[in-house]
């Protein structure tokens, strides 16, 4: 018997295909809706949706990829790129501080 069924009152864990996860993340990114709205509409857990975005949402686009045609699509891409830049900058700063601390030892 699996561990998830041993706990009294627990529900069996839902399994989602990778294709489904990617399509949910794509829909979330293109819709402009909040994570909670998408999760409720599709009947998935909010935390699953956030994990899937972390896993599948930041797929790098080729540099020579197509430029968004509409102003809304361009604004969404700019917003996404700004968020990604902030995240990567923060990671860089953390690594710099870590290297400084480790080199002092």
Length of the chain: 105
Asked if residue 9 is part of any domain, the answer here is no
The pLDDT, as a whole number, for residue 81 is 87
Asked if residue 31 is part of any domain, the answer here is yes
Asked if residue 33 is part of any domain, the answer here is yes
Global pTM reads 0.46
Asked if residue 1 is part of any domain, the answer here is no
- Count of domains for the chain: 2
Residue 71 and residue 69: Cα distance in Å, rounded?
A: 7
The pLDDT, as a whole number, for residue 5 is 46
Q: What share of the chain is helix, strand, coil (3-state, %, to 5)?
A: 70, 0, 30
Radius of gyration of the chain (CA): 19
Asked if residue 5 is part of any domain, the answer here is no
pLDDT in 10s for each residue of the chain, 105 residues: 444 444 556 777 788 888 888 888 888 888 878 889 988 998 899 888 888 888 877 655 666 678 888 999 899 889 988 988 898 899 889 888 888 888 887
The pLDDT, as a whole number, for residue 62 is 61
Asked if residue 74 is part of any domain, the answer here is yes
Asked if residue 4 is part of any domain, the answer here is no
Q: Where in the sequence is the domain holding 24, given as residue range(s)? A: 15-59
Same domain, 55 and 84: no
Asked if residue 2 is part of any domain, the answer here is no
Same domain, 26 and 47: yes
């Amino acid at each position: 018997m699996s561990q998830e069924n041993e706990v009294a009152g627990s529900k069996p864990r839902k399994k989602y295909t990778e294709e489904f996860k990617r399509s949910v993340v794509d829909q979330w990114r293109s819709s402009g809706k909040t994570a909670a709205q998408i999760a409720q509409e599709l009947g998935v857990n909010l935390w699953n949706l956030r994990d899937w975005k972390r896993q599948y949402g930041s797929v790098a686009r080729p540099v020579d990829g197509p430029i968004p045609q509409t102003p809304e699509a361009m604004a969404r891409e700019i917003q996404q790129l700004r968020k990604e830049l902030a995240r990567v900058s923060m990671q860089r700063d953390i690594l710099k501080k870590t290297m400084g601390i480790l080199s002092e030892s």
